């Protein structure tokens, strides 16, 4: 290797001035990081791996890969209602390419900055390009947004818009032609998904149950239903679709991507009747960007209707570079 492993870590990943105020007693450089949890909080831990040519094209801009790697993990912390604290990075590289590392590191740290999450350690190996990020967050036991907390009578909400992730992938893989402006919009949605941390924060004690939509709304709301022992009814005319999506494809394709496309990283959450007014108020005041799309019912599974008729999805699942695990 042109650059030794330690020099590489030092140059590209040991960039932050870590302070004890972030609970980092010892960060990168020792055998383990030493971390201080805030008092009375639970540690929320999640990990996602991105493999070249499975989760992103190997020749994609390294800065965008760095951004996406951290952002998709932050989305999991948001979906649990946890506040981001620290992350670790497992990096497998085919070779030491300093310009790639420089861009990757820039993307990674720019994604870290808004939430103040600190890189505290990791591992670096040689092999086919693969990036694993593990995030750590703090959550109050009473405000964790667990999948098993949905109840019959709750309203189902989703943040932002759905279906853009699948459309973005089609654009990136050159299966879909769109205008220059829409192409930039989709690229940004794919590589720079906004982790819904602010929404999750605003929903503390108003929602008890959330999931981030990474595998498509039907699959992910299905996880909530299974864990909670309930069913859900979706009113598809209420699904939030972006103008770029409805410009790019017909209504049926837009709905199918919104339901089964994946890679949207929006939050799907449920709200009890007692808290509904408070949540609608937050939406009206534009503190959170969310839409009511259905309700939780007795039974199991997710049923969809469009303008009063039962809707059967044309396509289930989605080929995401042969789909991730
Ligand atoms: P060890 O041999 O004890 O496993 P390493 O040589 O793997 O130690 O790592 C040395 C230090 O650098 C550790 O503090 C480790 O957490 C950190 N580190 C290694 N790779 C990375 C990386 N990709 N990003 C951030 N920190 C890393
Ligand atoms: Mg190691």
9/29 Cα distance (integer angstroms): 9
| Lookup: tokens for 321 | 């570079």
Determine the distance separating the centroid of ligand 2 and the alpha carbon of 124, expressed in angstroms: 7
Determine the distance separating the centroid of ligand 1 and the alpha carbon of 309, expressed in angstroms: 56
Q: What percent of the chain has pLDDT over 90?
A: 87
- pLDDT band per the 50, 70, 90 thresholds, residue 6: confident
β-pairing verdict for 231-235 and 290-297: antiparallel
Q: Express each pLDDT in 63-109 by its tens digit.
A: 999 999 999 999 999 999 999 999 999 999 999 999 999 999 999 99
What average pLDDT does this structure show over 225-243?
98
* Model pLDDT, residue 216: 95
306/311 Cα distance (integer angstroms): 6
| Lookup: tokens for 219 | 């699959």
Residue 131 DSSP one-character state: E
- Only one residue has tokens 């801009």, namely 61
**Total-model pTM:** 0.92
Is the pLDDT assigned to residue 140 strictly greater than 50? yes
Is the pLDDT assigned to residue 322 strictly greater than 80? no
- Facing residues of 156 across strands? 270, 294
* Model pLDDT, residue 19: 61
Compute the mean pLDDT over every residue in the chain, rounded to the nearest whole number.
93
Residue nearest to atom 19 of ligand 1 (CA): 123
- Ligand 1 neighbours by CB, cut-off 6 Å: 9, 13, 28-31, 89, 91, 119, 121-124
Is the pLDDT assigned to residue 292 strictly greater than 90? yes
Most informative mutation of 9, 26, 105, 131 for ligand 1 (most atoms within 8 A of CB):
9
């Amino acid at each position: 290797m042109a650059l030794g492993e330690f020099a590489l870590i030092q140059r590209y990943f040991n960039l932050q001035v870590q302070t004890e105020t972030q609970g980092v007693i010892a960060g990168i450089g020792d055998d383990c990081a030493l971390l201080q949890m805030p008092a009375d909080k639970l540690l929320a831990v999640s990990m996602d791996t991105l493999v070249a040519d499975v989760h992103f094209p190997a020749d994609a801009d390294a800065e965008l890969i760095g951004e996406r790697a951290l952002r998709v993990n932050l989305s999991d912390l948001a979906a649990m209602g946890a506040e981001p604290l620290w992350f670790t990075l497992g990096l497998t590289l085919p070779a030491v390419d300093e310009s790639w590392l420089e861009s990757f590191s820039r993307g990674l740290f720019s994604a870290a900055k808004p939430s103040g999450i600190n890189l505290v350690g990791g591992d670096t190996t040689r092999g086919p390009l693969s990036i694993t990020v593990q995030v750590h967050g703090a959550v109050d036991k009473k405000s964790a947004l667990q999948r098993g907390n949905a109840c019959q009578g709750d309203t189902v909400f989703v943040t932002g818009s759905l279906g853009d992730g699948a459309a973005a992938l089609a654009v990136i893989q050159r299966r879909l032609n769109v205008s220059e402006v829409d192409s930039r919009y989709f690229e940004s949605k794919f590589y720079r998904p906004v982790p819904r941390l602010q929404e999750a924060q605003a929903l503390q004690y108003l929602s008890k149950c959330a999931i981030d939509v990474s595998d498509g709304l039907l699959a992910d709301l299905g996880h909530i239903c299974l864990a909670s022992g309930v069913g859900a009814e979706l009113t598809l005319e209420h699904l939030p679709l972006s103008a770029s999506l409805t410009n790019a494809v017909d209504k049926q394709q837009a709905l199918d991507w919104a339901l089964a496309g994946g890679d949207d990283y929006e939050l799907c959450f449920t709200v009890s009747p007692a808290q509904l007014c408070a949540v609608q108020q937050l939406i009206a005041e534009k503190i959170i960007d969310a839409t009511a799309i259905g309700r939780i019912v007795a039974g199991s599974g997710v049923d969809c209707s469009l303008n009063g008729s039962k809707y059967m999805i044309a396509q289930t699942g989605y080929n995401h570079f042969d789909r991730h695990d």
